Amino acid sequence: MSSGLNIPDSPRQQYLALCISVKDQNKDIREWIEYHEQLGVGLFYIVDNNSKSPLLPIISDFIKRGLVQYELLQHFRHPTNRAQPYVYDRCLAEHGRKHKFIGFIDADEFVVLKNTSTPDLPSFLQQYEEYGGLAINWRLFGSSGHITRPEGSTVQSYTRCNPEWSPVNVHVKTFVNTEFAVSSGGDPHHFVYVKDKYAVNEAYEPVFGALASHISMQQVLIQHYVIKSWEDFRDKQLRGSGMGNHRPAHFWDEIEQEATEDCTDLADFKLQQPVSTLLR
């Protein structure tokens, strides 16, 4: 990420961007970008936390189009061993003035608009411009019976999710209003804001911290494909998260036991170019 202003050219780019820290997620990142571009995201800041396989060949066309700004973060060293807050703080400090909103989500998380007349995410966010940010509840997805990684896209392959009111769904991810956001809150979920400003959920109710007081996903939610297939889950265990955490084996069982409902809102989404054709 460059510290220069480099103001994005189009109003679309200026209004909404996403910032993400990734590691060894070459098979996932393209679908994530394509999906959120269709939802109205104008620019993606992607920080590669020293992936084993080069990420550039997968997203080079997006970079040439000006859709993605990419940085390789080699040999990350930090007292907290937490790449995500470090990347988020840098992204906010270096690029906050370029955008009205920046969203901070992971490559296994997809924002879904539902039951709303707004055509895209920027239009939806306009109603929250007076707040510190929009905090969106997540909903966790299981493996849908996949042991090995399926050929299809994430959103088409995984359709079994936990009940809407499952307690774990009080977790939020945040789209911050850059006018009021100061820094990350030390985790991937919440942020610190200027005095008298705070994030709200879709119903304009205050959200303080990583957990909302209750779950609200009537208009917007984040579909979190937290385990995917057993093969994907084992890979994720080995690489760890952006917070330096490693999921225990019983986490798989907990998610699978909860994933009892059918969630097919994104079943019609299709990739423009399958990632498998780029990995050959």
- pTM of this prediction? 0.91
How far apart CA 192 and CA 162 sit, in angstroms, is: 30
* Number of other residues whose CB lies within 10 A of the CB of residue 278: 15
Q: Is residue 279 part of a domain?
A: no
Q: Does residue 265 or residue 149 have the better pLDDT?
A: 149
13-48 pLDDT tens trace: 799 999 999 999 999 999 999 999 999 999 999 999
Is the residue at 274 inside a domain?
no
Give the model confidence (pLDDT) of 193-240 as tens digits: 999 999 999 999 999 999 999 999 999 999 999 999 999 999 888 876
At residue 50 the predicted structure's pLDDT band, cuts being 50, 70 and 90, is confident
Check whether 76 has a pLDDT greater than 70.
Answer: no
pLDDT tens digits, 194-205? 999 999 999 999
Tell whether the model's pLDDT for residue 168 goes beyond 70.
yes
- What is the extent of the structural domain holding 23? 12-259
Residue 267 placed within a domain: no
Convert the pLDDT of each residue in 141-162 to its tens digit. Answer: 999 999 999 998 999 999 999 9
**Among residues 83, 190, 84, 196, which one has the least CA distance to residue 136?**
190
Q: What is the pLDDT of residues 4-13, one digit of tens each?
A: 445 666 777 7
276 within some domain: no
> What CATH number corresponds to the domain at position 149?
3.90.550
- Phi and psi for 42 in degrees, rounded to 5? -95, -20
The domain total for the chain is 1
> Rounded to 10 degrees, what is the CA torsion of 26, 12, 129, 90?
40
On the question of pLDDT at 175 being above 60, the answer is yes
In whole angstroms, give the CA distance from residue 200 to residue 170: 13
What confidence category does residue 190 fall into, taking pLDDT thresholds of 50, 70 and 90?
Answer: very high
Q: How far apart are CA 46 and CA 20, in angstroms?
A: 5
